Amino acid sequence: MVDLASIEIGPLTRAQGSIVLPGSKSISNRALLLAGLSSGQTTLVNLLDADDTQVMRNALRTLGLSVVDQANKVCVVNGCGGEFPVRDADLFMGNAGTAIRPLTAALAMQGGSYRLSGVTRMHERPIRDLVDGLRQVGADITYELQEGYPPIKISVADIQIKDVVKVRGDVSSQFLTALLMALPLVAKEPVRIEVLGELISRPYIEITLKLMARFGIHVTHPDAQSFIIPAKTTGAAYQSPGKLFVEGDASSASYFLALGAIGKGPVRVLGVGGESIQGDVAFADALALMGANISSGDDWIEVAGIKNAGGKLQGITIDCTEIPDAAMTLAVVALFAEGKTRLNNIASWRVKETDRISAMTKELRKVGAIVEEGADYIVVQAPATLADWRSPSEGIGTYDDHRMAMCFSLAAFGPNRLKINDPDCVAKTFPTYFSEFATVVS
C-alpha cells in the first residue's frame, strides 16, 4: 500500500451495495492466543489480516510457535499445550491493546523472563489494574518507565492462587479478559475472579467466555461481578477445536450501516447478524432509534435509509457502555440528525489509541458541529445551516487512530469535499477500508 498523507472525498449523496466484512479484531486476537496456548493444531478461518493481528502472530512466533498464514484469510497455529517454548523474549506490541493485555497475563504464568513494549501511545495506555491482579497470584512484574504503564518486565515467579483474584472493571474490560484467559493455565483448584466496581464493555467479556468454551474451558458466572474458572485437570488446560471461523467485525460494520442511513441505502454488511457474539451489533439498534430502516438475518444486517420517507435521522441520548467502539460512529452520524445526540458512559475513549473524546470534539468542530464534551460523555449537534458546514483546509486529524479516519469518512456526505489526513492508519484493523468505502458510495 502506498502511504498517503491525505485523501479527499465527497461531497457524496448516495450509498448502496454490499460489503463482506473483515474478521473481527476482538475475536481474531483472542483466538490466536487461545490457539497458541492449546493442545493441538487450530485452523482459523477468516482471521483478520491487519496490524493488530500481525502483532499477535509475530509475538507467538517469537515465543516459539508455528503460526502459518495461508491463502484466503486462513491461519494455522500449532499450540504449545500451555507452555511457550521460548522462556526469554523481548516483544514489541505496537499499539495493540487486544494483544498486549492478554499476552502479559499468559506470559506471567510461564515462569520465564519477558519484556513487552510498544509505540509511544501504548506507553500512555494503562495496564496497572491487570498488573495488580497478576501480582495477587505471585506474578513478578515491574514497570520500566512510568508506574502503571508499559513497557513492563516479567520475571520468573512462583504462581500460587491462594484467594479470590480481584480486578477493577471500570477502565478496560481487557484486564478481566486477560485474567480469564491466563488463569486456567495454573488453576489447580477452581479460581474465583471478582470485579471491583462497574464492568464496562461487558459484551467483550461474553466474547472471551464463548471463545474459551470453544477451546474447552467453561467459566461459570454466578453473578454480575463474579467468574469461576474450573480447576485444571491433567494435561493442557486448552484443547484445540480443530477449526474456528472468525465472524465479521461488528465495529467495522458500523461505518457501512451508517452509510445506509445517511446515504439512503440499501447497504448490506455480510458476516455479522443475529447470530453474532459481538456486542457492537447493537449499533444497528441505536441507528433504528435514530430512525433508520433496519433489517437483518443470521449473518447479515441491512440499512435502507430512513423509516419515514423524506424524513431525517433524529438525535438520541444513549448509554454507550455496551458499544464503546461503535459509539464513535454515532458521533459523526449526529452531523446528519435533527437535534442533539448525547453519548454517555464513554470514559474508556480517553485511554484508547488516542483520547477519543478530545479528538472527536476537535475534529467535529472543524466541520461546523456544535459539540460539548465531558469526562465521560459527548453531545453533538449538526451545523445549524448548510452555510455553517466547513471544509477545513488543514484536513481532519486522525491521531494515528484507525477509528477516527473511518468515522470521518461519513462526513463526506456533507455539502463540502473533505480531506482526511493519514488515511493509512486504518491498517490497524481494516487495511482496505477506503477501497471498500469507494465501492458503495457516489
* Per-residue pLDDT, 98: 97
Low-confidence residues of the chain, pLDDT below 70?
A: 1-3
Instruction: State the maximum Cα–Cα separation within the chain, in Å, rounded to a whole number.
Output: 70
Residue range 25-226 forms a domain whose CATH class is: alpha beta
Q: What is the pLDDT of residues 36-73, one digit of tens each?
A: 999 999 999 999 999 999 999 999 999 999 999 999 99
Domains 6-22+248-440 and 25-226 share a fold: yes
* Per-residue pLDDT, 147: 97
Which residues does the annotation mark as catalytic? Answer: 325
Q: Map out the domains of the chain as residue ranges.
A: 6-22+248-440, 25-226
Pick the closest to residue 262 from 1, 15, 3, 7 (CA basis): 15
pTM for this entry: 0.95
Per the structure block, which three cell numbers stand in for 279? 456486542
Pick the closest to residue 264 from 6, 13, 4, 3 (CA basis): 13
* Per-residue pLDDT, 3: 65
* Per-residue pLDDT, 1: 42
Which architecture does CATH list for 6-22+248-440? Answer: Alpha-beta prism (3.65)
DSSP 98-110: HHHHHHHHHHHTT
* Per-residue pLDDT, 287: 98
Per the structure block, which three cell numbers stand in for 12? 457524496
* Per-residue pLDDT, 128: 98
Strands (E), 239-291: 243-245, 264-270
* Per-residue pLDDT, 50: 97
> Cβ neighbours of residue 394 under 8 Å, at least 6 residues apart?
none
Q: Give all strands of the β-sheet with 340-344 in edge-to-edge order.
A: 317-319, 340-344, 377-381, 370-373
* Per-residue pLDDT, 310: 76
